A and B are shown apart, each in its own frame.
Chain A
Amino acid sequence: MTFANGDSTTHFPAGSDRASPARFDVRAFARSAQGNHRETLRLDEFATDPLSGESLRAVRYLARLESGTMEQLRNLLVTATHKDARITAFLVTWAFEKFWIADALDAVLEANGQRKSHEAAEGSTRRSRIESVERRGPIRRAITGLIQGVPIIGVHVTSGLVDEWITRAAYDRLETASANPALSSAISTILGVKARHVAFFDHEARERLADDPRAASLTRRSLERQVWPIGAIDRADDDRSFFESFVFGSDEGRARAADIGRRVAELTGMDSRIGDAVARKLHA
């Protein structure tokens, strides 16, 4: 996997990330990280063509999800995932890029007369007994992480991949629903940034699921009970319900969810039971 990057490559240690030609180049990714997007956003256009309340709500929810990287990092790093220097190196730049994706979404909110996502009031979280396991704190995560060891990395990258599929569906839905050229342009910028995150998770997930049956079985268990998208567990119940019906509620939405379920089922070690479980939860 290579990405356009015109600037000098001489200042990198020889053979830095060279295991296989198809392997995602983490150093090239870090070198060409994409930061602040405010210069290229067409924010002025919202003054004459503002977003609907529904679209703004979706933008705000997505901004909150995109900026939840430190909580997510915390959950990953208390396990063996922190041992993998390639993964942690990726996550550093991934968090940086997502910070600026959230900032771009905040800029859209502000241009529409709204507060930034983390400044706006948020309702209370969903109280569900089934979800309590996902609400487990770092201590319990660290203890199970100790038992699970290295195969947990396979769970984390596969969840990362499925999460990317889900948020992609959300951006697509938002793009169609809003029919707003300035927002479409912002979404296309965001998806461009996220394409590399997808590529990394995709490659890592496929490799780890194929190489390690323990990773595959842990992933089955985890995907089945996980709350989607990643980070939703910390978000307001009413926003989650809105998201579930906005993105996956209509007939078209159900087809979107079913499509994600199929892609999950096709991953090594997964099957339609796991795929259906993921799809079902999307429109809870």
Chain B
Amino acid sequence: MAFDVDKYTATSVSVNWDDLDLERFHEHPLPEGSLRTLRYMADVEYHTVCYTRDLLTTPSHKEADMSAFMTMWNREEFWHGEALATVLGIHGIVVDFDEIKADRLKLGWKDKLDPIKQSIAGKLVGTDFVAVHMAWGAANEWSAITAYNRMAELEEDPVLAELLKRIARQEARHVAFYTSQARDRLAKSRKAQVLARFALKNFWAPVGSSIMERTEVVHVMGHLMGGPEGRKGARKIDAAIAGLPGMEGLTIVEDSLNKLGVAA
């Protein structure tokens, strides 16, 4: 099904929580492990805009629909960060832009080289690489939606659950965009399929892996995708990815959980 970008831009809003009683966290604070997961998610959401550099280092930026989507998508993700930062703020955890900057500056060469690597790949294969980016984005958005829904389910707190469900609903629209793009572009090109399969299989890692400490990645994945229920969610993401043209049989999420030592 084609994704209607005009309709998306016309209805894109910052996630709203004015009507939610977040103040209740003063009396019913969230457990420390959950706050640690929320902090990770907030950082990842704020970082999303940085990934547009990768998506745009391909011919895809010439397309007005792509630009329009990216503009709104960036903003929605930023507001996911703001929503989570507000919850953290009520718990006395201040998420400050200057502090995030200090953290980003600590990132090593891996992050610095990413755009170059991506650009070179983009140059080499032209429009086929857009398909890879779209498939990659779909995997990340599926992960986001699964993570938020899983956390809403795990937390007893009704207010947090509602906020996370609102975020997850926006992630669902991101999934729709990326999958419709990925599906179309992969279906058109055998080369794109081979490339996407290779990239996902060899380079994909849970969102945030390149910007957060490994201990934090292990904590969050253990929290949200550990145990039999968590593993079930992971398999659902894998099944969705495997449903894209040429991606049959990929199990990148499960593989990465095993690599991180997250018990099923």
Residues of A within 8 A of B (CB): 8, 11-17, 19, 26-27, 30, 33, 36, 67, 69-71, 73-74, 77-78, 82-86, 88-89, 91-93, 95-96, 99, 118, 137-139, 142-143, 146, 150
Apart from the given pairs A16-B96, A78-B116, 6 other A-B contacts in the complex at a CB distance below 8 Å: A17-B97, A74-B61, A93-B75, A99-B72, A138-B57, A138-B119
> How far apart are the CA atoms of A95 and B116 in the complex, in Å?
23
The residue in chain A whose Cβ has the minimal distance to the Cβ of B56 is: A74
B254 within 8 A of A: no
* Partner among A13, A16, A33, A78 whose Cβ is within 8 Å of the Cβ of B53: A78
* Partner among B10, B74, B98, B101 whose Cβ is within 8 Å of the Cβ of A95: B74
Q: Are A13 and B75 in contact, CB atoms less than 8 angstroms apart?
A: no
CB distance from B113 to the nearest CB of A (A): 8
* Partner among B49, B67, B86, B105 whose Cβ is within 8 Å of the Cβ of A67: B67
> Which of chain A's residues have a CB closer than 8 A to the CB of B72?
96, 99
> Which of chain B's residues have a CB closer than 8 A to the CB of A91?
49
B177 within 8 A of A: no
CB distance from A235 to the nearest CB of B (A): 13
Q: Are A70 and B97 in contact, CB atoms less than 8 angstroms apart?
A: no
A82-B53 CB under 8 A given contacts A13-B86, A93-B75, A139-B116: yes
Question: Which segment of B87-95, B139-147, B201-209, B212-220 sits at the interface?
Answer: B87-95
> Which of chain A's residues have a CB closer than 8 A to the CB of B119?
78, 137-139, 142
Q: Are A8 and B18 in contact, CB atoms less than 8 angstroms apart?
A: yes
> How far apart are the CA atoms of A137 and B57 in the complex, in Å?
8
* Partner among B14, B61, B86 whose Cβ is within 8 Å of the Cβ of A70: B61
Q: Are A14 and B94 in contact, CB atoms less than 8 angstroms apart?
A: yes
* Partner among A33, A67, A70, A143 whose Cβ is within 8 Å of the Cβ of B56: A70
Q: Are A89 and B97 in contact, CB atoms less than 8 angstroms apart?
A: yes
A85-B52 CB under 8 A given contacts A15-B94, A77-B115, A92-B74: no
> How far apart are the CA atoms of A142 and B50 in the complex, in Å?
13
A27-B61 CB under 8 A given contacts A13-B88, A77-B50, A138-B115: no
> How far apart are the CA atoms of A118 and B62 in the complex, in Å?
10
> Which of chain A's residues have a CB closer than 8 A to the CB of B104?
82-85
B263 within 8 A of A: no
B136 within 8 A of A: no
> Which of chain B's residues have a CB closer than 8 A to the CB of A83?
101, 104-105, 107
Q: Are B17 and A11 in contact, CB atoms less than 8 angstroms apart?
A: yes
Q: How many A-B residue pairs have CB under 8 A?
A: 134
Q: Are A78 and B115 in contact, CB atoms less than 8 angstroms apart?
A: yes
* Partner among A12, A67, A74, A92 whose Cβ is within 8 Å of the Cβ of B78: A92
> How far apart are the CA atoms of A95 and B88 in the complex, in Å?
27
> How far apart are the CA atoms of A236 and B79 in the complex, in Å?
36
Q: Are A11 and B86 in contact, CB atoms less than 8 angstroms apart?
A: yes
> How far apart are the CA atoms of A88 and B101 in the complex, in Å?
10
The residue in chain A whose Cβ has the minimal distance to the Cβ of B101 is: A85
Q: Are B49 and A69 in contact, CB atoms less than 8 angstroms apart?
A: no
6 CB contacts below 8 A, A to B, read A13-B88, A13-B89, A88-B49, A95-B71, A99-B9, A137-B123
A74-B52 CB under 8 A given contacts A13-B89, A95-B71: yes
> Which of chain B's residues have a CB closer than 8 A to the CB of A71?
56, 61
The winner among A11, A86, A95, A139 for most chain B CB atoms within 10 A is A11
Q: Are A11 and B116 in contact, CB atoms less than 8 angstroms apart?
A: no
The residue in chain A whose Cβ has the minimal distance to the Cβ of B22 is: A11
* Partner among B46, B67, B123 whose Cβ is within 8 Å of the Cβ of A69: B67
> How far apart are the CA atoms of A14 and B93 in the complex, in Å?
9
> How far apart are the CA atoms of A139 and B117 in the complex, in Å?
8
> Which of chain B's residues have a CB closer than 8 A to the CB of A92?
49, 74-75, 78
> How far apart are the CA atoms of A284 and B225 in the complex, in Å?
59
Q: Are B74 and A77 in contact, CB atoms less than 8 angstroms apart?
A: no
A36-B85 CB under 8 A given contacts A73-B53, A118-B64, A138-B115: no
> Which of chain B's residues have a CB closer than 8 A to the CB of A27?
82
> Which of chain A's residues have a CB closer than 8 A to the CB of B122?
138
The residue in chain A whose Cβ has the minimal distance to the Cβ of B95 is: A13
Q: Are B18 and A11 in contact, CB atoms less than 8 angstroms apart?
A: yes
> Which of chain A's residues have a CB closer than 8 A to the CB of B22?
11
